[in-house]
Amino acid sequence: MIIIKVGGGEGINYDAVCDDIAQLWREGQQLIFIHGGSHRTNVVAEALGHPPQFVTSPSGYTSRLTDRAALEIFQMVYCGQINKTLVERLQRRGVNAVGLSGIDGRIWQGPRKNVIKVVENGRTRILRNNYTGTVTQVNYAFLQNLLDAGCLPVLTPPAISFEGEAMNVDGDRAAAATAAAFRAEELLILSNVPGVLRQFPDEASLIPQLHADQIDQVAEAYAQGRMRIKLLGAQEASAQGVRRVVLGDARGQQPILRALDGQGTIITQPQPEMTA
């Protein structure tokens, strides 16, 4: 099983992504495809007069401020526009894609974080009525049933809280939880950068290889913005036994085949200690 997460930033080549998925599908590879939609959500939110707002947590992670109005726009774009155009592209390529959110069949479930702490101008502030959370349970049986029926699941946030509320979750970490639930051999997390860069945005400064136990140090020293959360996702997947995570580039041709071929930042399990 390979779990493929493709982000929603500007410049993603969705046609090339779907070409690669169709090729792997024809070869009989078991796959789950997970996507984002942040750039389009920002555009639609602006157009609808609810401009996106982002907040930074005390630990330095940036995320979308998700009140109920933002959540509904988020759902429109992620579950409506992007999910269905990806399913359509895949169906046109002969892949029996089925698009679902984490709410459907409680595929992604976890605790909602109604109250969050954010840092603004160096001061910590409390925000309420927040529709975000974390995936702690993946409905493996439901997804396996779809796979057994010959479907390719195409998954997207939001997830669902234990109380049954839709909530925004980080797609990279949801992908990591899914990879862990399936004991996937590989997790690909693709976005619009080539991987972890020592000197962002200098693409020549790509870090090609990491062991999972180096992630904290690398995240602290080099990672910018969204890359910190991708590294956190990689760390969570590795800790739960996923052998290889690739942080790769979804711009250009053959983005998935290139990542499988090792282009990007490859994260593997730490080397075992030598025994006497």
In contact, 37 and 81? CB cutoff 8 Å: yes
Q: Is 174 a binder of a second copy (CB under 8 A)?
A: no
CA dihedral 177, 93, 25, 13 (to 10 degrees): -50
Please give the DSSP secondary-structure letter assigned to residue 186. E
Site string for a second copy, 105-144 (x = CB under 8 A): xx-----------------------------------x--
Q: Is 168 a binder of a second copy (CB under 8 A)?
A: no
Please name the amino acid found at residue 166.
A
Nearer to a second copy, 28 or 49 (CB): 49
Record the tokens describing residue 138, joined without a space. Answer: 């993946």
Q: Judged by CB under 8 A, which of 85, 114, 137, 268 binds a second copy?
A: 85
Window 192 to 231, contacts with a second copy (CB under 8 A): none
Using the structure block, give the residue that is written with the tokens 């389009």.
Answer: 40
Nearer to a second copy, 167 or 234 (CB): 167
H helical segments located in 53-192:
68-75, 83-92, 140-148, 171-181
What's the start-to-end Cα distance of the chain, in Å? 35
Nearest to 24 by CA among 266, 275, 258, 270: 258
Q: Is 83 a binder of a second copy (CB under 8 A)?
A: yes
Site string for a second copy, 38-57 (x = CB under 8 A): ------x--xxx--------
Binding residues for a second copy, rule: CB under 8 A, are 44, 47-49, 72, 75-81, 83-85, 87-88, 91-93, 96-101, 103-106, 142, 145, 149, 151, 158, 160, 163-166
